[in-house]
Amino acid sequence: MSDFWFYFKIGLEHVLDYKAYDHVLFLIVLTVPYVFKDWRRVLLMVTLFTVGHMTAMILAVYGVVSVDRGIIEFLIPVTIFVSALYNVFTAGRGAHKDKLGVLFITALFFGLIHGLGFSSFFKSLTAHLSSKILPLLEFGLGIEAAQIIIVLVVLILGFICQTIFRFSRRDWCLFISAVVIGMVIPMLMANYPW
């Protein structure tokens, strides 16, 4: 049981680490167009992101996939930037009108990219283990728990800003997405691989 908490905690800290806030930024732009009544859609998108994340890690840890770390470190902020830009161009349209298939496939694909970014650390952490599947699943549960925490915080802040401070849903989405774009541009420039 102690191994479960060890890997669960690493997954939790992977998302909630304030020094590696790229994961949080992605979750913010994924969640900001939605409100509490959309919780099923948001939970499904976040879970698909985790599935993509875990699939990439399994493939990388077992040596099926190997991608240049520099490219992945660049692609992670690209996924955040693209998601935030999508929010800017679709704000006010109503998140409930978005095509489910496209959003879900995008969340899964972006999860694959983010998972590759963490796979080398996890590979070194579990190098001494003969079976890595159980630790990966425990780690994945920690990621999912942390992501749900972030999603709840974003939904609560959105609720407060839209009801108490009278932000429109559109303005809230535009403002937060613009802030994230401003934060991710330096990440893109710092990780530009060419």
pLDDT value at 100 more than 70: no
d(CA 20, CA 108): 20
Mean pLDDT within 71-95: 89
Of the pLDDT bands very low, low, confident and very high (cuts 50, 70, 90), residue 91 is: confident
The pLDDT score that the predictor gives to residue 121 is: 82
Is the separation of the CB atoms in 187 and 77 below 8 Å? Answer: yes
d(CA 180, CA 192): 18
Give pTM, 2 decimals: 0.91
Q: What does the domain layout of the chain look like in residue ranges?
A: 2-190
d(CA 27, CA 150): 7
The pLDDT score that the predictor gives to residue 96 is: 54
Nearest to 107 by CA among 171, 34, 169: 34
Of the pLDDT bands very low, low, confident and very high (cuts 50, 70, 90), residue 127 is: confident
Mean pLDDT within 168-185: 96
Mean pLDDT within 78-87: 94
Q: Name every residue whose Cβ is closer than 8 Å to that of residue 136 and which is 6 or more positions away in sequence.
A: 7, 54, 57, 58, 61, 122, 126
| Span 23-65, pLDDT tens digits | 999 999 999 999 999 999 999 999 999 999 999 999 998 889 9
